[in-house]
Amino acid sequence: MTINKRKITVRFSVIIILAIFTSFGILFKSSVTVFLEREQWLEKISNLKAEDRRIDPIRGNIFASDGRLMASSIPQYYAYIDFKAGGLKSDTLMKYLPELSHELASRIGGMSASEYRAHILKGYKKQSRNYKLINRKISYTEMKDLKTFPFLKQGRNKSGLKLTEMAQRKKPFGTLASRTIGDVYGDQSKGGKNGLELAFDSLLLGTPGIGTRQKITGRYITTTEVEPINGMDITTTIDLNIQDITEKALLEKLTEIDAESGCAVVMEVKTGAIRAIANLGRVAPGVYNETKNFAVADESEPGSTFKVAAMMVALDKGIVSPTDTFDTGNGVYMYKGTRMTDHNWNKGGFQKITAEQSIWYSSNIGVAKAILKGFEHNPSEFVDALYDMGLNQKLDLGIPGAGQPKIRHPQDTTRNWYKTTLPWMSFGYETQIPPIYTLTFFNAIANGGKMMKPYFIQEISKDGNVLDKSYPEVVKRKICKSSTLDHIRQMLLDVVEQEHGTAHIIQSDRLKLAGKTGTAQISQGGSYSAAGKSHQVSFCGYFPADKPVYSCIVVVRRPRNGYPSGGRMSGMVFKNIAERTYAQSKMIPVEKVKDSTALFVPPTKNGDYGQVCYLLDKLNVSYEDNNKDWRWTSVHVSQKEISMRELSTPENLVPSVIGMGAKDAVYLLENCGLRVQINGRGRVSAQSRNPGQRYKKGETILLNLRN
């Protein structure tokens, strides 16, 4: 075989030349890329580079003392359509559009089928890449349903359906203790705004995770690098049943007297646990909402409830005894050129009364004269005694924005001490005390002189494991001598029991009540107006008076209807709270209300199956035990027995709430997406939408209640 060396040389030369030209081409292109196209390529690289992204944790829940949910983060979604999605075909969309529109109208609501059809066509004509399909946030259940709708069930690429998740903070029990629970910002990563949501924000918030966001095949994908740690759960001391009673009693009175605002707090005597706290402010005529935590934040002059502290000092120092007399004259007393009056000055005054009567009748002059008798020339001793009783003790309540007591001292150079300060301080002026501090003092009286710190948090847990638990904390072991305490407790009982006591109107035939009324004019621009709308009326006490279980304060500001009265206004709220709490508690054995001929089958409301069974068990009332996994039940009461049937709640149909109490009815209907308005009190007797009717989410249903 002959080898043609010339051909081999030519071929090799061609390859060498091509390699040289290729090398020069690569070198040239590299130079262009490095020097001329550098910025362009750097920008493209940055678009492909993985970015660190914050992955928000799930915010912790807030529970009532019995474990019922009071605040929780619930995922909600915005639904969009990308009409330029790669797999979206116009003929497929048009084919399923009528059926899709019908499903959206019947199962999501908000628009009719024809309106949905026009809405979707509008987005298609615009060829929008981010067209809002539904004009509101939808729930997790609705989101899952949406993915099964005609056309949309094809998946994201073929339908263009895009879902954006947002966590929303929900309060299943609405306004109950809402201001104390607090609120969060719309962007929950910013944390709590106020209340317990803010105070325990770092625990509720959790720890964010880290993910990387990278564009792959035209789509951004987030990969989790560090898992987020969800927030801890907080269990409060709030008893939802007492909370419900408290809010309703306060709202009824505020509406009746057209007051500007009001608050009520119920504290457990032995522990200091806050079982209910209601704060309502008028936002429109006849409409009240939780606008501010008045009970904790308000630094206002307490008025006549403070007379109890002044009298305690006088008794404890031996200045007076309960039967010492003071001449209050015709109800007008001039001191250091300043006029002091009793509330009955226009009826001739009280004339001569005893120290204890000055508390029963709430005589400014009687209490002032008792204090002047012992401390006129040494007011520091009086104020020091108030401090020693713990009235000026600052309490770490754990609520942002909490007020502090401000009881001035004669030796405090930062605040003026006038010649009239001592007597006016003795009946609740020239000093500022938040309502919850006044309650803490009265609670100590009910608790044998031991002052307990109010607290709102029962425990902190994570994944069901308790991490921290709160225990009762003593602020002061003894606020006064035992003999003094006995006298004070008798005076507070007589405020209600004595015929001319300022709270005699609230005397109850169910249980003994004890406490003190308070009426104070509200300072306006440094002066006091005599107008009724410028008064603050209050009542603070405890029940049952013989064996106190709960203490309670009620404060009402600027009532417009009726003569301002601590007894008739705040006192009546106190009475309603006490009697209703007493009735639903185990303070009294059921056997005591039976007689020998009674068939004890109590009227029982429809509602939560578990709670109905729990109540009947506690009352030792026999009933047909279905032992079923029911959520809601209708109760049938005969002369001798109670039987129950399951109360069905068909999806997208109005449920029957006839025979339920307001709490269960509102909870059930609002969970269905309906808005609820209530008229009356008692159990539901009628509902504006008939059971079994279809409804649109957001519609309003009117409930009529009666006893």
pLDDT at 589 over 80: no
pLDDT at 210 over 60: yes
Q: In which band, very low, low, confident or very high, does the pLDDT at 597 lie, cut at 50, 70 and 90? A: very low
Q: In which band, very low, low, confident or very high, does the pLDDT at 580 lie, cut at 50, 70 and 90? A: very high
Q: What is the pLDDT of residues 433-480, one digit of tens each?
A: 999 999 999 999 999 999 999 999 999 998 878 899 999 999 999 999
**Torsion angle of the four alpha carbons 133, 139, 143, 144, in this order, in degrees rounded to the nearest 10:** -160
pLDDT at 639 over 70: no
The SS3 of residue 630 is coil
Q: In which band, very low, low, confident or very high, does the pLDDT at 19 lie, cut at 50, 70 and 90? A: confident
pLDDT score, position 224: 66
Give me the residues paired with residue 407 across strands.
431
pLDDT at 595 over 50: no
Listed in sequence order, the residues at least 6 apart from 11 whose beta carbon sits closer than 8 Å to its beta carbon are: none
Q: In which band, very low, low, confident or very high, does the pLDDT at 362 lie, cut at 50, 70 and 90? A: very high
pLDDT score, position 532: 42
What are the residue ranges spanned by the domains of the chain?
5-49, 240-461+470-584, 600-706
Cβ-contact 413, 445 below 8 angstroms = no
* Most confident listed range (47-61, 121-135, 381-395): 381-395
pLDDT at 5 over 80: no
Q: In which band, very low, low, confident or very high, does the pLDDT at 184 lie, cut at 50, 70 and 90? A: confident
End-to-end CA distance of the chain: 121
Average predicted confidence (pLDDT) for the chain: 85
Neighbours of 671 (CB within 10 A): 11
Give me the residues paired with residue 226 across strands.
210
d(CA 468, CA 459): 6
The proportion of the chain whose per-residue pLDDT surpasses 70, expressed as a percent, equals 90
pLDDT at 593 over 50: no
Listed in sequence order, the residues at least 6 apart from 685 whose beta carbon sits closer than 8 Å to its beta carbon are: 658, 704, 705, 706
pLDDT at 523 over 90: no
Q: What is the pLDDT of residues 538-552, one digit of tens each?
A: 999 999 999 999 999
Average pLDDT over residues 123-152: 87
Q: Are strands 233-236 and 69-81 parallel, antiparallel or unpaired?
A: unpaired
Q: What is the pLDDT of residues 469-488, one digit of tens each?
A: 999 999 999 999 999 999 99
pLDDT score, position 628: 65
Measured over the CA atoms of residue 199, residue 200, residue 202 and residue 206, the dihedral's sign is negative
CA angle, 91 as apex, 88 and 92 as ends, to 5°?
60
pLDDT score, position 301: 92
Peptide linkage before 302 cis (omega within 30 of 0): no
Task: Write the DSSP symbol of residue 135.
Answer: S
Listed in sequence order, the residues at least 6 apart from 595 whose beta carbon sits closer than 8 Å to its beta carbon are: none
* Most confident listed range (107-121, 487-501, 588-602, 653-667): 487-501
pLDDT at 591 over 60: no
Q: In which band, very low, low, confident or very high, does the pLDDT at 314 lie, cut at 50, 70 and 90? A: very high
* Most confident listed range (26-40, 144-158, 282-296, 373-387): 373-387
pLDDT score, position 531: 44
Average pLDDT over residues 215-224: 59
Measured over the CA atoms of residue 315, residue 320, residue 321 and residue 322, the dihedral's sign is negative
Q: In which band, very low, low, confident or very high, does the pLDDT at 51 lie, cut at 50, 70 and 90? A: low
Q: What is the pLDDT of residues 599-611, one digit of tens each?
A: 456 667 787 777 7
CA angle, 636 as apex, 630 and 640 as ends, to 5°?
125
Going through 489-560 in order, the beta strands assigned E by DSSP cover 514-521, 523-524, 527-528, 535-543, 550-557
pLDDT at 699 over 70: yes
d(CA 74, CA 58): 9
Listed in sequence order, the residues at least 6 apart from 656 whose beta carbon sits closer than 8 Å to its beta carbon are: 634, 647, 687, 691
d(CA 341, CA 329): 10
pLDDT score, position 333: 94
pLDDT score, position 566: 93
Cβ-contact 420, 238 below 8 angstroms = no
Neighbours of 635 (CB within 10 A): 20
- What tokens does 603 get? 């009227």
d(CA 548, CA 247): 21
The SS3 of residue 462 is strand
pLDDT score, position 600: 52
Q: Phi and psi (nearest 5°) for 676?
A: -125, 135
The whole-angstrom distance between residue 124's C-alpha and the CA centroid of its chain comes to: 44
Which CATH superfamily, name and number, covers 240-461+470-584? Answer: DD-peptidase/beta-lactamase superfamily (3.40.710.10)
pLDDT score, position 118: 92
pLDDT score, position 490: 97
Query: Which of residues 20 and 629 earns the better pLDDT score?
Result: 20
Closest listed residue to residue 386, CA positions, set 428, 340, 330? 428
* Residue-wise DSSP of 556-571: EE---SS---IIIIII
pLDDT at 354 over 70: yes
Going through 204-300 in order, the beta strands assigned E by DSSP cover 209-216, 219-226, 233-236, 261-268, 274-284, 287-289
Average pLDDT over residues 668-688: 80
Pick the CATH number of 600-706 from 3.30.930.10, 2.60.40.790, 3.40.50.300, 3.30.10.20: 3.30.10.20
pLDDT at 517 over 90: yes
pLDDT score, position 518: 94
Average pLDDT over residues 99-128: 89
pLDDT score, position 45: 59
pLDDT score, position 590: 47
Going through 129-208 in order, the beta strands assigned E by DSSP cover 131-132, 138-139, 161-170
pLDDT score, position 654: 86
Q: Is the pTM of this model over 0.85?
A: no
pLDDT score, position 260: 94
pLDDT score, position 205: 84
Length of the chain equals 707
- What tokens does 143 get? 């989101």
Task: Tell the burial category of 204 from Cβ atoms under 10 Å away from its Cβ (0-12, 13-18, 19+).
Answer: buried
* CA Rg value for the chain: 35
